[in-house]
Structure 1
Amino acid sequence: MTNHLYIARTLSDDAMGRAHELGLPVVVGVDEPPTRERLLADVAGATAAVVTLTERVDAEFLDAAGPNLRLVANVAVGFDNIDVAEAQRRGVAVSNTPGVLDDATADHTFAMILAVTRRVAEADRFVRSGTPWVWGPRMFVGLDLSGGTKLGVIGIGRIGRAVARRAQAFSMTVLGYDPQYEPGDRVDGVRMLSLPDLLAESDIVSVHVPLLPATRHLIDAAAIASMKDGAYVINAARGGIVDEKALIAALRSGKLAGAALDTFEGEPHVDPELLEIESVVLQPHIASAGSATRSRMCLLALDNVREVLADREPVTPVLAH
């Protein structure tokens, strides 16, 4: 089919209704990620494609789509699944969904911080195991967040600032690193540091940067070695930012007290060694999974489609880095 709107995976109900109002025939996948063969077949001849982080948009995808393709709308803030430079070289616009998921992602980040530092997931598993227990003063002791505990936020964008606000409400000291700011700057009450100083001072390090060549394995063995003994790593951004093998080694050695991960390097595959470590909270990439938030993400993707079909610029364009 030519000149159609391709939607790789079923969107929210309200977004699916809006999709049929855009004036193009709609080809829709299902809830599960399409196979590569199905993806390439269904996108052939499309005018616009709405994809998610599970679909790889590269030269092969763009070849399959053909010359009618005008927009790839990603239902995500991150866009590491898309070869943006190749799309733009071919005159295909790329959009994402920033802004609408900031609070949901920050809420979930803080839920993971609490879960790992107060050992919530460990304690839940313990109770469910049926192991006999009685309260004791040394039982499942974790980290107090208030009272001077330092949260280091890497990436002071919208989500990073939202996480910082939640930490401040818990009376935590919030440190920040972002290359667009200088050490010593104050941003919304966050004291900006160099990355080495943030790693050295923080009790908890939370990652909120996109996955780019410059940020791949930003948290590697050397970065972890420079952190405090007994610190924690939180990742609700993209899996490749944290070197999982280095993380596993640090957790096993006791260098780190724990970690909470919502994303993984080989997602959806999870390193089996992570599954064996009690001090890790593992989540299946659900930081934005509030019902209203997911609806806003899907609707924003379709807003981008609407604008491009009307020969206007996307609402939230992505530019090649």
Structure 2
Amino acid sequence: MKLLITRRLPDPVLEALAPEFDVTLRDDVRPLDRDEIHAALRDYDCVLPTLGDRFDAAAFAAVPAPRARLLANFGVGYNHIDVAAAKAAGIAVTNTPGAVTDATADIAMTLMLMSARRAAEGDRLVRAGRWQGWYPTEMLGLHVTGKTLGIVGMGRIGQAIAKRAHHGFGMGVVFFNRSQVADPGVPAHQLATLAEVMAAADVVVIAVPGGAGTRHLIDAAALAAMKPTAHLVNISRGDVIDEQALIGALQSGQIAGAGLDVYENEPDVPQALRDLDCVTLLPHLGTAALEVRTAMGMVAVDNLKAFARGAPLPTPV
């Protein structure tokens, strides 16, 4: 089978695929453009895409009789793929859950601490040569120990974040989830509405899946419910937050700060966000550890090999 890998992956992943597939490795860090998307559907049996490779409804409409029969997505998030349109075209879609849970939860904690304790701002101060030395009221931030963490989306990643916050920092946990969560793994209270969680928390972490159902879930109204001393952290997908509403809330001091690993139009980050000292900005580092990216790739390998053998797909979406 002909397989297109849209961006370079760790060597063990490539080595695991080479014996069983006719592999084309696209050695470009940028997402596929529209012509490449069409060629991928037309010329390959399987595609291993990742974030930014936009297999939307228009792409499937442009290739009405695709050769491709599997999109083995590298990543747990797949809002760049129109799954319904893919299935209508006879193409299965898989993702890589599980492998990303702990690494993404770790980045959430990193951003929570960096935003609350103004770490990125302090780093810029020192690098610019503007630090004048320690004094008792310098760069006072939020002490997170014992505070309330609000989690929006209590799936695997949300529960891993709750575990770290509760056991590591003695934080109380409240959360909003579309369905009931019988056992969140730590003492935590499921609140009935998003607004209740936003209002109760000192730090809010967004951990919902991306997609049409969660686009701009965190809008101006949700931000207005937050405490003026609260911080917002996003490790889900960029378009879950209305970016312009967030900029407004930060510029006006409606909330104290934010820590972001994802953006609405990656890799474009609005200048208004970059200009704000109260925002910590990371370049989508959620799973950026070699062993984690390798493990993600191996889940995609398992899906591809199962497909080639006519076996059930391990992680269909």
Shorter-chain TM-score above 0.5: yes
User: Which residue is equivalent to 1:16?
Assistant: 14
Match of 1:96 in 2: 95
User: Alignment partner for residue 29 of structure 1, among 23, 26, 31?
Assistant: 26
The alignment covers a number of residue pairs equal to: 312
TM-score, normalization by structure 2: 0.94
The one-letter amino acid paired with 2:250 is L
Q: Distance in 1 between matches of 2:144 and 2:131?
A: 29
| RMSD between superposed Cα atoms in Å | 1.6
1 CA distance for matches of 2:135 and 2:38?
A: 59
Partner of 1:209: 208
Equivalence for 1:48: 46
- Deviation by residue 1:240-299 (Cα, 9 ceiling, x = unmatched): 111111111111111110001111111111111001100000111111111100001111
- Structure 2 residue identity aligned to 1:160: G
Matched residues in 2 for 1:223 and 1:215: separation?
13
The 2-side partners of 1:21 and 1:159 are apart by: 34
Hey, what's the Cα distance between the residues in 2 that align with 1:273 and 1:5? 41
Going from structure 1 to structure 2, the CA distance change for 1:65 and 1:282 (only over 3 Å counts) comes to: farther
Q: Is the 8 A contact 1:8 1:28 kept in 2?
A: yes
The residue matched to 1:94 in structure 2 has which SS? strand
TM-score normalised by the chain length of structure 1? 0.93
The residue number in structure 2 matching 1:119 is: 118
User: In the alignment, residue 125 of structure 1 is paired with which amino acid?
Assistant: R
Alpha carbons of 1:41 and 1:91: their partners in 2 closer, same or farther (altered >3 Å)?
closer
Q: Which of 160, 164, 167 is the equivalent residue of 2:165?
A: 167
Q: Which runs of 5+ in 2 are unaligned?
A: none
Confirm or deny: 8 A CA contact 2:99 2:296 kept in the other structure: yes
Matches within 5 A, 1:1-321: 3-22=1-20, 24-33=21-30, 34-62=32-60, 63-64=62-63, 66-147=65-146, 149-168=147-166, 169-181=168-180, 187-188=184-185, 189-194=187-192, 195-318=194-317
Residues 186 and 192 in structure 1, CA contact (< 8 A), matched pair in contact too: no
Partner letter of residue 143 of structure 1?
L
User: 1:59 & 1:247 partners in 2: Cα distance?
Assistant: 29
Q: Which amino acid aligns with 2:312?
A: E
Q: Is the 8 A contact 1:109 1:236 kept in 2?
A: yes
* Aligned sequence identity (%): 39
